[in-house]
Chains A and B, each alone.
Chain A
């Protein structure tokens, strides 16, 4: 079925990753960049195939954009494509960040005030991202049917419990060990 679609070379694939790795800003806005590059502009995957890949990337641990790039790399080019693609995506930002950290020594007083202001702004952006995702607590696998009220309430309580547990000092691994089974039971049994 995919035989009629164009197949990227390793160089094609690395160019896509390097472009997104050097030109993309903002955390949530980058997933559509892959869809644009891989589905709309080059036709390497169909819209449905892409949606499937995106679901796997969001489910499994790892930043969504990294998972997406790695999965697409394995699928379109092979293991080498996945590993080198991730390097092209992640290395430019990491190198730039380290270089900037050398230039801005945090022990200087004039760095402290803007640094704290920028951190607070970053946190506000995170809070806005969370608020945009909250409606997802009311959805089901079928877009036409919203979740029942008791499912919504249970999901809200689970979210609050996870947040409170982490803030009260529980280890992340312990919290996930308890919360993930509960989340699965909520989805499949309630």
Chain B
């Protein structure tokens, strides 16, 4: 039953994951952390691992599945989150291929952008709240440092994440 519940959570969020896994992060957090499937730390770990491995950052879903129910959970989460989008793209291919060159598809994509950006902004804020825990000042300091590094240097995503890890550890030791 737990596996079925897990599959349903991932499957229905896969159906609305516009753009990336970020679109559904707050809802995932609510469905998994608030219902007691995973701890906030476990959720953060999954998010971080999804960011550092190659391929889509939805890999975090397999980690959450693993935390909930081992290998079976990881498989269920993996199949659950990807099956919706793959089926939708199959249907889109079958339909869209007949009347291509339709500009309203481009206009719809444009129309959806503010919605998707709003979802991403909400994800950033809610995840920041979880990541900060009780250390709001430290979290803000690390965020500013990483932001400055990202804008002023040519460091890649992985290096920036390691810089964040170092900065938080150093900050915690010093305070």
A-side residues, CB < 8 A to B, are 20-27, 52, 55-67, 70-71, 74-75, 79, 82-83, 86, 89-98, 100-102, 104, 106-107, 111-130, 133-134, 136-137, 139-141, 155-156, 158-164, 166-167, 171-173, 176, 179-180, 183-184, 186-188
Let me know if B27 and A172 touch, CB within 8 A.
yes
Among A25, A52, A65, A101, contact of B157 (Cβ-Cβ < 8 Å): A25
Assess A162 versus B109: contact at CB under 8 Å? Given A101-B46, A106-B42: no
Let me know if B45 and A183 touch, CB within 8 A.
no
In the complex, residue of chain A having the shortest beta-carbon distance to the beta carbon of B162: A118
Q: Is the interface of B mostly helix, strand, loop or mixed?
A: helix
A75, B70: Cα distance in complex, Å? 35
Let me know if A141 and B54 touch, CB within 8 A.
no
Instruction: Give min CB distance, B4 to chain A, whole Å.
Output: 19
Let me know if A125 and B160 touch, CB within 8 A.
yes
Instruction: Give min CB distance, A37 to chain B, whole Å.
Output: 15
Let me know if B49 and A126 touch, CB within 8 A.
no
In the complex, residue of chain A having the shortest beta-carbon distance to the beta carbon of B160: A121
A86, B147: Cα distance in complex, Å? 33
In the complex, residue of chain A having the shortest beta-carbon distance to the beta carbon of B118: A162
Chain B residues near A141 (CB-CB < 8 A): 103, 106-107, 110
Assess A124 versus B160: contact at CB under 8 Å? Given A90-B55, A90-B59, A141-B106: yes
Let me know if B19 and A71 touch, CB within 8 A.
no
Let me know if B111 and A24 touch, CB within 8 A.
no
A59, B113: Cα distance in complex, Å? 9
Let me know if B133 and A125 touch, CB within 8 A.
no
Chain B residues near A140 (CB-CB < 8 A): 110
Among B20, B53, B118, B162, contact of A158 (Cβ-Cβ < 8 Å): B118
A20, B56: Cα distance in complex, Å? 10
Chain B residues near A63 (CB-CB < 8 A): 17, 19-21, 56-58, 85
* B139 contacts the other chain (CB 8 A): yes
Let me know if B86 and A86 touch, CB within 8 A.
yes
Assess A167 versus B54: contact at CB under 8 Å? Given A141-B107, A159-B115: no
Chain A residues near B18 (CB-CB < 8 A): 61-62
Among B58, B105, B162, B169, contact of A113 (Cβ-Cβ < 8 Å): B169
Contact mask B55-97 → A, CB, 8 Å, 1/0?
1111111110011000000100010001011101110110011
Instruction: Give min CB distance, A66 to chain B, whole Å.
Output: 6
A156, B44: Cα distance in complex, Å? 29
List 9 tightest A-B contacts by C-beta distance, closest first.
Answer: A62-B85, A117-B168, A162-B118, A121-B164, A93-B55, A187-B111, A114-B165, A166-B122, A94-B62
A128, B54: Cα distance in complex, Å? 20
A128, B151: Cα distance in complex, Å? 9
A74, B85: Cα distance in complex, Å? 13
